[in-house]
Structure 1
C-alpha cells in the first residue's frame, strides 16, 4: 500500500506540513527520505522494519553499508544512497558548532550588514533586519522594490515575517539612489506607522536607515523615531 492511499494524518509529508517535523516518528522521517516502500509494505512500514533491525538507533543505522541497506526489499541503490546521505548530513551537523548570530548595537553595524545589498542600486528597495531579544540577527531580507522615486512596503508582510523569525525587534532600511539622505514625508509617515504597529505587536522598531552609496542616515541617531 503506497503512501497516497493512507489516511491523510498518516502520510509523512502531509503530517510534516500540518503538524511540524517534531510530530513525526523515526519511521516516518525515514519514509520521507525513501519516498516509497515496496509491494507489501508502505514506506513507513518499511522504515519501521529497517530501524527495528538496528535496535531503533540512528547511530547503528549509520554503520550499515550500502549493500546492507539494499538487502531490504524495496531498497535499491538510489534509496540506500539517500539514506546514507541523510545520515551523513546529520553526522556533520552534530559535529559543527552552532554559529553565533551577529549582534546589532549601533546604526553603523546595521549599515554594514545592509550596505552590500542597497548601496549600488538604481531603484529603491526596502529591507528589514529581524532581531531577537539580545539584538542578534535572526533574519534579514528584501520586502519590496520600486521605481526610481519610491518603494512601497506592506506593513502586514513586514510583521508577518518578523513573527516567522520570532523577532522582538526590527531595523528597516531603504536606499536613495539619488544620494540624497534627507527623509521624505513618505519616509517619515511609513516609519511612524511601523513604529506604532510594532508597539501593538510587541516588536520594537529599533531604527530606520536611509542608505546611499557611501553614507547613510539613521532615524534613531537623528531622534526621528
Structure 2
C-alpha cells in the first residue's frame, strides 16, 4: 500500500524546515520558495509547502514583481493554492509594496524652526488643550519619528523626561526637537518651558543626543528657542 500521508515539512531535518531554518540561520538564509512556504503553512497530500512555493514561483517566471501582479483567480489555478492561501500571498506582496513606497519617500529635513512648525502645525494648531510632542532626527537632521508625549489642559501639560529619553534611545536618535502648543495664543515661553528645555538639554548630553530646538505653536504663529538664542 502506498503512503497517502501529506509530504509534511515536519518530517524534514530541523535545519531544512523553513521556520526552524529562519530561527537558526536568519531570514536571509531562506530561499523565496521557503519564505512563501512559511506564508502557506501547509502543502498538499503530494506536495510540501516548499514544493507549492516553487510552483508559485515557476508560474511567476521566478520574478517576485510578476508574482505581485497575479490576481486571486490566477493564483488559485496553481495546485495547492486555495482562496485563503492566495489571499495570504496577495496581502504579503502588498505589504512589501507599501514598504518600498515608504522607503522611496525621503524623510523631511529640518533646516530651521519653520520646518518644525510646518511639520507639526496640523497636530497642534487648533487644539483647545496643550500637548507636548517630540521629533527624533538622524545625523543628517532628517526626521525619523514624531511622538505625542503628553496631553494636558488649557494651562499646561507634563512632559516626562524618562519617556522622552526612552523613545529617543529606542529609535537611536541623534537629535531631538521639542514642541508644544499654547491654546491661548500667547507666544511667550513660560519659566516652566525654559526650565524643562534646559533640563532636557543637559540630560540629552549624557546620552550624546542634541536638543536642537523647542518650538511653541500658538495658532498660525510660533516661538523658537533656537531662533531666540535660548538653547
Relative to the length of structure 1, the TM-score reads 0.74
1:41 to partner: Cα distance: 7.6
Structure 1 counterpart of 2:227: 221
How far apart are 1:126 and its partner, in Å?
0.3
Of 159, 166, 171, 1:160 maps to 166
Q: Distance in 2 between matches of 1:42 and 1:203?
A: 51
Secondary structure of the residue aligned to 1:162 is helix
Whole-Å separation in 1 of the counterparts to 2:16 and 2:222: 54
Distance 2:146 2:84 in 1: 37
Question: When the two structures are aligned, how many residues end up with a matched partner?
Answer: 224
CA RMSD in angstroms comes to 4.2
Structure 2: distance between partners of 1:11 and 1:194 = 50
Segments of structure 1 that go 5 or more residues without pairing to the other structure are: 4-8
TM-score between both structures, scaled by the size of structure 2: 0.72
Write the deviation string for residues 83-135 of structure 1: whole angstroms up to 9, x where unpaired: 24533664686689812222111112211211111111111100111111111
**Contiguous gaps of at least 5 residues in structure 2:** 1-6, 10-14
**Matching residue of 1:114:** 120
Q: 1:52-201 alignment to 2 at 5 Å? A: 58=64, 61=67, 66=72, 69-70=75-76, 74-87=80-93, 90=96, 98-201=104-207
Q: Which sits farther off after the overlay, 112-121 or 72-81? A: 72-81
In 2, Cα distance between the equivalents of 1:149 and 1:23?
Answer: 56
